[in-house]
Chain A
């Protein structure tokens, strides 16, 4: 397994989705839904606490044609950044 990408500092999300406390498969399902509402090139920020998301979200992005910009660790949760493809 490759190392997970760290997001650049100056990222500005267009939308934020709170998935804190949720477990598999809800974070991915909600992400899938939230990204439908964005237009191509916009950035979605997902806040999550499930360790599984660190595998699921990047590999799903690759499959679904979105760009995974990376993560940032915050206090007690992780921020994921996805650019809609």
Chain B
């Protein structure tokens, strides 16, 4: 019996305490992304943040029309599920604590949140909706945003290097309660199951849909926190430390997700143009650049910021709030001037219309494999690593 008990303890440690490898996380996330899109819709972050920010502006009387109820609106429910899942993961690993950074970090959080809000408005999605899930959905704008992100990340890193020389700071702290962490985690897990049942048995027309969205994105949040999967890290480390592990994992997740969604779209289970936004042009490229710049300074992308919110990093709370508010304002202005309808951001390009499904999957695979090889080569040679 004692050996069986040990096996249980080992299983618990492996699943809930030890950090998963990024590759394990990436494969799980691709799996959950395909499940979510099969269930109802693609994954996204910024739509939910904007919904919450819209409520704020509606509440203070700036917007006239009431936004959709956050509990009945799928974009918002996705974020609730994501944060919930990441919170469960953080608590079970005893990693939830209120972490208070030095003042400079709060200033960086505000500035980077504004940049991320602008960037994600231009690209009509953050690094998830505009890049990661856009490529899953075979949208050409995903590639353009990737180029913009890389350039923005590289420039943002130059700023961080400059800051290191000129703005020394220290003196943050952590308020932790590791002893009650597992209890919080178990309570949150029970709460998640109750909430999912509540959706399924509610009178809402879309109750079942929302319940599925909630628990599937909780899976994404859980897997993302366990593996600390981070797209900023994937794009930044080749320039900063040379490490390629995260980048390789993300490239594999993009290929796997694209295969899954290609099947859904080919079989007409989901509309072809789902998540193919009219941003192939200045929107994705410039949006990616501005967002990339912001996310390096923030230390978290759309998804990375939210799982760090769930871990108790106060800097990322500020990032997420300012990011949502800014995105809401810019999208409001876009609507006033019909920016999206007039095609100022670019065209909606669905790659299979030009390359066929086979050709599109081939192109995505080639680009991702090429990225994989380049960062692996860079890990050996340090070609792109910036000197401090």
- Chain A residues within CB distance 8 Å of chain B: 1, 3, 18-26, 28-30, 32-33, 36, 49-52, 54-55, 59-60, 63-64, 76-77
| B173 and A55 within 8 A (CB) | no
| B97 and A49 within 8 A (CB) | yes
| B228 and A23 within 8 A (CB) | no
| A24 and B242 within 8 A (CB) | no
With A21-B99, A49-B99, A76-B173 as known contacts, state yes or no: A32 contacts B18, CB within 8 Å.
no
| A1 and B21 within 8 A (CB) | yes
| B19 and A49 within 8 A (CB) | no
| B299 and A25 within 8 A (CB) | yes
Which size class do B's interface residues fall under?
35 or more
For A55, the closest partner residue in chain B by CB is B19
B276 within 8 A of A: no
Task: Report A-chain residues with C-beta under 8 Å of the C-beta of B361.
Answer: none
| A1 and B18 within 8 A (CB) | yes
| B172 and A20 within 8 A (CB) | yes
Contact of A20 among B93, B174, B313 (CB under 8 A): B174
| B105 and A22 within 8 A (CB) | yes
Contact of A18 among B95, B171, B176 (CB under 8 A): B171
CA distance A54 to B228 in the complex (A): 11
Contact of A25 among B21, B176, B233, B313 (CB under 8 A): B233
Q: A-B pairs with the 3 shortest C-beta distances?
A: A21-B172, A49-B174, A18-B170
Task: Report B-chain residues with C-beta under 8 Å of the C-beta of A33.
Answer: 164, 388
| A21 and B228 within 8 A (CB) | no
With A1-B20, A25-B299, A30-B164 as known contacts, state yes or no: A60 contacts B241, CB within 8 Å.
yes
| B171 and A21 within 8 A (CB) | yes
A66 to chain B, nearest CB (A): 12
B101 within 8 A of A: yes
B154 within 8 A of A: no
Task: Report B-chain residues with C-beta under 8 Å of the C-beta of A64.
Answer: 241
Contact of A19 among B19, B170, B236, B242 (CB under 8 A): B170
